[in-house]
Every structure is written in structure tokens, then in C-alpha cells.
Amino acid sequence: MNQTIRPLLVAVVMIAAMLLVAGCAAPASVTPAANAPGAATEEAHSEDHDDDPGHSEDHAQDTEHDHDHAVEMSALPALTPVALSDGEKLRVVVTTNIVGDVVSQVAGDAVELVQLLPIGADPHTYQARPDDLRHLNNAHVIFINGLHLEETMQSVLDNLDAGAPVISVNIGVPTLQFGGDHADEHEAATDQDHHHEGADPHTWMNVHNVEIWVDNIAAALSALDPMHADRYAANANAYRIQLERLHEEIETMTATIPVERRKLVTDHDNLSYLANAYGFTVVGTVIPSISTLASPSARDLAALQRQIEQEGIRAIFVGTTVNPAVAARIASDTGAQVVPIYTASLSDAQGPAPTYIDLMRHTVQQIVEALAD
Ligand SMILES: [Zn+2]
């Protein structure tokens, strides 16, 4: 008897230990963002959940422990080179025009790039058009922001015929969790806001995160199109240097704002990465959500108005992709001013933010002008 029970016990202990290890390893790969870079990764996730009944508990605990920082999927999906005929270029489709600019900085003219979201489109609410479907189904690779930014396109991205890899540029980016620093907004949130909690998708507002995008894009392009790997690597290196300069420039610019005035009120929660990286606090948002699909209650707006008055807030920063009407009303009631900024879309070529670097520089300039004096 003893001889049969003992190996059984050993096996049980070993399995328990393995489950424990799996649980500890979970936070790196399991985040609320289910925008898997490829179907394979998504399958792996759902298998984890199905097979392990204790998993959801582990997950809840882990989320509590590091609700300030979680990491989006940890690695690129396995990519195999695309068989391109003579003169044929890799066909790359991107969702947002910010992702599009960064991809084009790395790819140069080595690829055929199609960008789906036009200038001024709100990525939270954008719906794919028939032309978009054609491009998506014709692509060799699709780069998205991910983290549910493109939430109204998710079903289209999940159901493509051609099966091109869909890659989030945010793989490996340390994400901020919405709700962590907003306890009182959290309380006021209604049920319909709940699905908008989780990883904040506006990662590009910290330049260092876009340096990680560059690594991901260069790695994916090189794997799919190894003939041009040297060019992708050289472009990525040159662009990383520009980004590092931009990061330092932003630090210098924001240093001119007195510390007690580094308080931001925005249209929705889209500046947390900027705040975290460059020393600001987001004290309020018109829409208490990381998505513009949510809407504020009368109670939310009254609370925001009180906060603006109490903290002596002078500016409400409103992205160009958002209807500024509610912000304008609060501004006129409180004596604050509405300051337009570029956050979710570039401007056209004649505007102040035709590239990602211009977008960051212009938005920070607007913030500095509004708050510095
Ligand atoms: Zn947004």
C-alpha cells in the first residue's frame, strides 16, 4: 500500500508546485488586454484559464499586487519569412496613424504601408470600412496599438480570412492600470464603465514606450522580410536616437512648470503615461474612463467641477479626436480654458503634428504654455 501511495503523493506535490510556478509566472503574460499578437498566443491564454480552476484567483491577487504596472504580452508570435516574388514588397497594414508613422520610420520604402485610421479619427470608436477589410485580408502583417484601443475593430481583426499575424506594438511595454490612481472616480463608475477598466492603451504618451514599439516593429519586419533586415535595423537605430532626444527635450520643457502646477485635467484618461513619465498628476477627466466610449454622469461632472475650482486648475486639455462640448461647458463654468492637444491622431501635413515626434512636442508645448505661467 505504502509503496503505491508514496509515489502518488510525490506526484501530487510536484503538480501543485508546477501550478504554483505557473501562477507566479502569470502576470507577465496574462493582462486584461486580450489583444493577442497572434491567434496562437490567444489560444494559449484561454487554455490556461480552462485547465486551471485556481488560476482566476491567482490572477486577481497578482493584479492587486502590481496594479500600477503590468506588462503586455511578453514576446512576439513566431513569424516565418513571407515568400515575396521579385520586386514584390511586404504588405503592411496598421490601424492608428501614430502606429503608422512609427512603422514607416522603421520600414522606410521597403514595404507597402496602408494605414486604416484617417487623420482625426477616434481609435476607440472607429469602425472598419469595406476598403479596410480588403486591405486587411490582403496584408502580410497587421500592426495594431492593442490593449483594446481599437475596441470597435476587434471582431474584424479576430475574423480575417487571410490569417496574417496581428501584432500589438505594445508587446513588452509596462502598462498602467486604469483605476489604480483614481479611487474616487472608480467609486463613481457605473456598470457600463466596467469593461473599460484594465490596461491603459495610451502608452505612446511616454516616449520610452515607443522605443519598445520600434524594437517590436523592427523584429517583426526582419523576421517576415529578412532580405531587408539590415535596413530595418539601421532605420530603427536612427529613429531610436531621435526618440531619446525627444524624451530629453520633453524633460527640459516640462521642468519649466512649477511643481505645484503640474496638474492635468483631460477629456478622458489619455495622459497618464505622460504624467507618470514627466512628473504630472492627472487630477480629473471629463469622461472618467480610458475609453471615449464611456460617458460621464451628472455626478462625475459635478465632482470634476468642484475639483477644478478647489485645485485652481486653469486648463482642460482636449484631444482633437474628441467632441469638446462638455469640456467647454465645464471650462466656462469654472473659468478654466480649453486647450486643444494632439493625443490619439496625428494632424495632416500642414498641421502642427504630422509625425509622432511632432505630436509629442506640440502637445507638451501646449501643456507648458497653459501651465507654466
Ligand atoms: Zn483614448
Q: What is the CATH classification number for the domain harbouring 359? A: 3.40.50.1980
Contacting residues for 173 by C-beta, under 8 A, at least 6 apart: 71, 72, 203, 209, 212, 213
Task: Say if residue 135 is in the same domain as residue 228.
Answer: yes
Whole-number pLDDT of residue 72: 54
Measured in Å, residue 198 CA sits from the centre of ligand 1 at 13
Measured in Å, residue 269 CA sits from the centre of ligand 1 at 7
Whole-number pLDDT of residue 71: 54
In angstroms, what is the C-alpha Rg of the chain? Answer: 22
| pLDDT over 60 at 102, yes or no | yes
Measured in Å, residue 112 CA sits from the centre of ligand 1 at 28
Measured in Å, residue 135 CA sits from the centre of ligand 1 at 24
Q: Is residue 190 part of a domain?
A: yes
Whole-number pLDDT of residue 109: 97
Measured in Å, residue 316 CA sits from the centre of ligand 1 at 15
Which DSSP helix (H) or strand (E) runs through 263? Answer: strand 263-268
Q: Is residue 274 part of a domain?
A: yes
- Pairing state between β 166-168 and 177-178: unpaired
Average pLDDT, the chain: 82
Q: Is residue 315 part of a domain?
A: yes
312-356, pLDDT tens digit by residue? 999 999 999 999 999 999 999 999 999 999 999 999 999 999 999
45-89, pLDDT tens digit by residue? 333 333 333 333 333 333 333 334 555 567 899 999 999 999 999
Q: Is residue 156 part of a domain?
A: yes
Measured in Å, residue 289 CA sits from the centre of ligand 1 at 9
| pLDDT over 70 at 227, yes or no | yes
| pLDDT over 90 at 305, yes or no | yes
Grid coordinates representing 72 are 503586455
Instruction: For the beta carbon of residue 11, count every other beta carbon within 10 angstroms.
Output: 10
Task: Say if residue 264 is in the same domain as residue 187.
Answer: no
Measured in Å, residue 79 CA sits from the centre of ligand 1 at 30
Task: Say if residue 240 is in the same domain as residue 276.
Answer: no
- Rounded Cα distance between 288 and 296, Å, is 6
Measured in Å, residue 322 CA sits from the centre of ligand 1 at 9
Q: Which of 47, 101, 126, 87 is nearest to 349 (CA)?
A: 101
Section 181-185 average pLDDT:
41
Measured in Å, residue 319 CA sits from the centre of ligand 1 at 9
Task: Report the predicted TM-score, pTM, of the whole model to 2 decimal places.
Answer: 0.78
Q: Is residue 21 part of a domain?
A: no
Q: Is residue 199 part of a domain?
A: yes
Of 199, 214, 244, which one is at a domain's C-terminal end? 244
Task: Say if residue 94 is in the same domain as residue 240.
Answer: yes
Whole-number pLDDT of residue 140: 98
Q: Is residue 63 part of a domain?
A: no
Task: Say if residue 214 is in the same domain as residue 290.
Answer: no
Cα 122 from chain centroid?
14
Residue type, position 341, single letter: I
Task: Say if residue 171 is in the same domain as residue 278.
Answer: no
| pLDDT over 80 at 7, yes or no | no
How many domains are contained in the chain?
2
Of 244, 265, 282, which one is at a domain's C-terminal end? 244
Task: Say if residue 183 is in the same domain as residue 294.
Answer: no
Whole-number pLDDT of residue 45: 38
By residue range, what is the domain housing residue 198?
Answer: 90-244
Whole-number pLDDT of residue 74: 74
Whole-number pLDDT of residue 161: 85
Measured in Å, residue 268 CA sits from the centre of ligand 1 at 7
CA diameter of the chain: 83
Measured in Å, residue 371 CA sits from the centre of ligand 1 at 22
Measured in Å, residue 202 CA sits from the centre of ligand 1 at 6
Grid coordinates representing 80 are 516565418
Measured in Å, residue 200 CA sits from the centre of ligand 1 at 9
Whole-number pLDDT of residue 25: 34
Report which of residues 56 and 121 the model is more confident about.
Answer: 121
Task: Say if residue 154 is in the same domain as residue 105.
Answer: yes
Task: Say if residue 231 is in the same domain as residue 302.
Answer: no
Of 218, 244, 270, which one is at a domain's C-terminal end? 244
Measured in Å, residue 205 CA sits from the centre of ligand 1 at 11
- Rounded Cα distance between 364 and 358, Å, is 10
Whole-number pLDDT of residue 178: 84
Task: Say if residue 220 is in the same domain as residue 289.
Answer: no
Q: Is residue 35 part of a domain?
A: no
Measured in Å, residue 363 CA sits from the centre of ligand 1 at 15
Asked which of 5-14, 156-165, 186-195, 254-263 is least confident by mean pLDDT, the reply is 186-195
Task: Say if residue 115 is in the same domain as residue 208.
Answer: yes
Percent of the chain with pLDDT over 70: 75
Section 174-200 average pLDDT:
58
Neighbours of ion ligand 1 (CB under 5 A): 270
Q: How confident is the model at residue 35 (pLDDT cuts 50, 70, 90)?
A: very low
Q: How confident is the model at residue 166 (pLDDT cuts 50, 70, 90)?
A: very high
Task: Say if residue 236 is in the same domain as residue 286.
Answer: no
